[in-house]
Structure 1
Amino acid sequence: MSLRRAAAIAAIAVGALAVVAAVVPGSSAAYVARIANSTDTAATAPFFTCAAALANDKSAALFTLPLNEASNSTTAVDSDSGAYPGTYRGTMTTSTTTPLACSRDTGGAYVLNGTSSYVSTATSFANPQTFSEEVWFKTTVAGGKLMGFGSSQTGSSGSYDRHLYINTSGQLVFGTYNAATKTIVTSTPVTDGTWHQAVATFSGSTGMALYLDGALVAQNTTYTVAQNFTGFWRVGYDAIASWPGAPTNAYFTGSLRFASVYTTVLTAAQVQNHYNAGR
């Protein structure tokens, strides 16, 4: 390494210490640095944990389920208002095996077995037409539902849309229904066994948008109406038959953390902040 290069790296390190020292006591922030041949950059992320990032947008949240309870738990705690907890169905197993998404947060990840594991809300909701869904996931299996809205609290729903699922090609799909299925999809598979953040947003004015790992990857502003029914938010399983690329088995196989539903359309900045907090 040349003396000039070593001096540049040392300067960045000193700058990093200065940034850390400037953080207000009692606050939470993460430090991000990148050293490359062409450009050296450094910055602070506004939130150190996923819990802190999500709490910052608490006013827009319907619920957040951290999914970090101990194995064999029956209740998925709502860490926002506490008003809309979920119920673990089937086998509930937790793993603290690293690496974890949101690794600076407490607790483990919810491990779904692909045959009986899922969560459903205890409360039903009438026809949400403006919303965002968010979840961290890890899987190597092509096929399964991450989150969705269904007419039944348990079992297989008769009406089902507003869902994030993985198709048989391993791509992430966001779908709503209005006389026909309306979907947007990632261009590449997400079944690489690493943690990913998925966010879907929907409203009558903005249409459908799909984010993966903090970045907007698909959008359709003409899809502006979802199916009108009263239902429950489901995590890890519900009906998916007849949807594009639908797997035979709709149960998700893999791990999940921090499943949230919002009553607003998250901004690109909010999505990015949530992702940075979990890296």
Structure 2
Amino acid sequence: MSARLLRRSGLLRRSGLFWRAGLFRRSGLLIAGAASLALAAGLFAAPGSFSGYVASVTNTSNVSGTAPYFTCAGALAADRASSLFTLPLNEPSNSTTAVDTDSGAYPGTYRGAMTTSTATPIACSRDTGGAYVLNGSTSYVSTATSFANPQTFSLEIWFKTTVAGGKLIGFGSSQTGASGSYDRHLYIDSTGKLVFGTYNSATKTITSPSAVTDGAWHQAVATFSASTGMNLYLDGALVASNSTYTVAQNFTGYWRIGYDSLSGWPNAPSNLFYTGSLRWASVYSTVLTTTQIQNHYNAGR
């Protein structure tokens, strides 16, 4: 095909882009003309008939393009084999059941006021539903099933608050009210720092270096086993650890979210109820790896 034919067909005009750019000259048609023909063919190919297109997905934080999982649901599902339960905490306001999206065997029960908000920004924004908003006085969740003396586990939850104090997630001997035995918990202390605690004849705690009550969404993960000790992660990064704390208190209990006793624990807040928003609470029967924790964090950004 020649430049003359292109002009006759309407693909090329003397006043058009290719002609003005000098891609076609009567004395130098061969090389430039071939290159322009290839470009023109691509530009005017029928939709769906050309496979050489490149797609790009952009989001406000520009994270999903490099993260291995696009949603928190996808990231957590990849580690479902080691999960006891996952509660997205995204049910509509006034719901009574917190659905377990893993096996479905261990749902939670909403206690007190249950309100959901879809206000943005929100953690795991590419997932459906809103965030569970706890009022700091009556709102919490407890599992319907009890568990016997877990000694290897990981806890994970997303939270947002401006209030120092309250239990995010923990293990207690009572399904409702204040438990008589309680440990294996993540709580925000009276100074606004994140604490992971277990009990073995005395309280054993590790604490974040900075306060977490800045009103931003954060991912908190705690891991525990006899071989690894206690580890605390904040937003995908290890912030505290102690390999000598290897045994938790021996009792049967329920997993509690948003409230339980903290009497006797370091910097225990005056209000045991958490005030703020929560999403995606999970308990695992294994120690999550750093890579798994970071994958979950990146999926939620």
For the superposition of Structure 1 and Structure 2, which TM-score range results when normalised by the shorter chain? 0.7 to 0.9
Q: 1:18 to 1:259 in 2, by over 3 A?
A: same
Q: Per-residue CA shift, 1:109-141, capped at 9, x if unaligned?
A: 000000000000000000000000000000000
> Which sections of structure 1, spanning at least 5 residues, go unmatched?
1-16, 22-28, 35-41
Q: Per-residue CA shift, 1:25-84, capped at 9, x if unaligned?
A: xxxx989759xxxxxxx9621000000000000001000000000000000000000000
Note if 1:61 corresponds to 2:61. no
Determine the structure 1 residue equivalent to 2:148: 126
Determine the structure 2 residue equivalent to 1:272: 294
Cα distance in 2 for residues equivalent to 1:243 and 1:30 = 41
Structure with the greater alpha carbon radius of gyration: 2
Query: Which SS does the other structure have where 1:52 is aligned?
Result: helix
Say which structure is richer in strand. Answer: 1
C-alpha displacement at 1:248, in angstroms?
1.2
Query: Which SS does the other structure have where 1:44 is aligned?
Result: coil
Contact 1:165 1:174 in 2 (8 A): yes
Cα distance in 1 for residues equivalent to 2:281 and 2:59 = 22
Note if 1:87 corresponds to 2:109. yes
Query: Which SS does the other structure have where 2:299 is aligned?
Result: helix
Determine the structure 1 residue equivalent to 2:279: 257
**Which of 232, 240, 264 is 2:254 aligned to?**
232
Determine the structure 2 residue equivalent to 1:99: 121
Contact 1:31 1:44 in 2 (8 A): no
Within 5 A, what are the aligned runs for 1:164-175?
A: 164-175=186-197
Q: Per-residue CA shift, 1:240-269, capped at 9, x if unaligned?
A: 011001011110000000000000000000
Matched to 1:93, the amino acid is T
Matched to 2:250, the amino acid is N
Cα distance in 1 for residues equivalent to 2:256 and 2:241 = 23
Equivalent pairs, count: 249
Determine the structure 1 residue equivalent to 2:216: 194
Query: Which SS does the other structure have where 2:208 is aligned?
Result: strand
Note if 1:140 corresponds to 2:157. no
Q: 1:190 to 1:18 in 2, by over 3 A?
A: same
Cα distance in 2 for residues equivalent to 1:45 and 1:246 = 37
Superposition TM-score, scaled by structure 2 size: 0.80
**Which of 136, 155, 179 is 1:157 aligned to?**
179
Cα distance in 2 for residues equivalent to 1:147 and 1:97 = 23
Contact 1:32 1:44 in 2 (8 A): no
C-alpha displacement at 1:104, in angstroms?
0.4
Query: Which SS does the other structure have where 1:202 is aligned?
Result: strand
Cα distance in 1 for residues equivalent to 2:66 and 2:60 = 5
> Which sections of structure 2, spanning at least 5 residues, go unmatched?
1-52
Runs of 4 or more above 2 Å deviation: 17-21, 29-34
Cα distance in 1 for residues equivalent to 2:161 and 2:275 = 7
Note if 1:203 corresponds to 2:219. no
CA RMSD in angstroms comes to: 1.8
Cα distance in 2 for residues equivalent to 1:74 and 1:119 = 9
Matched to 2:123, the amino acid is A
**Which of 35, 59, 66 is 1:44 aligned to?**
66
Cα distance in 1 for residues equivalent to 2:256 and 2:59 = 32
Cα distance in 1 for residues equivalent to 2:291 and 2:154 = 14
Q: 1:226 to 1:104 in 2, by over 3 A?
A: same
Matched to 2:212, the amino acid is V
Name the % identity: 75
Q: Per-residue CA shift, 1:94-114, capped at 9, x if unaligned?
A: 000111000000000000000
Matched to 2:276, the amino acid is G
Cα distance in 2 for residues equivalent to 1:63 and 1:155 = 22
Superposition TM-score, scaled by structure 1 size: 0.86
C-alpha displacement at 1:18, in angstroms?
4.4
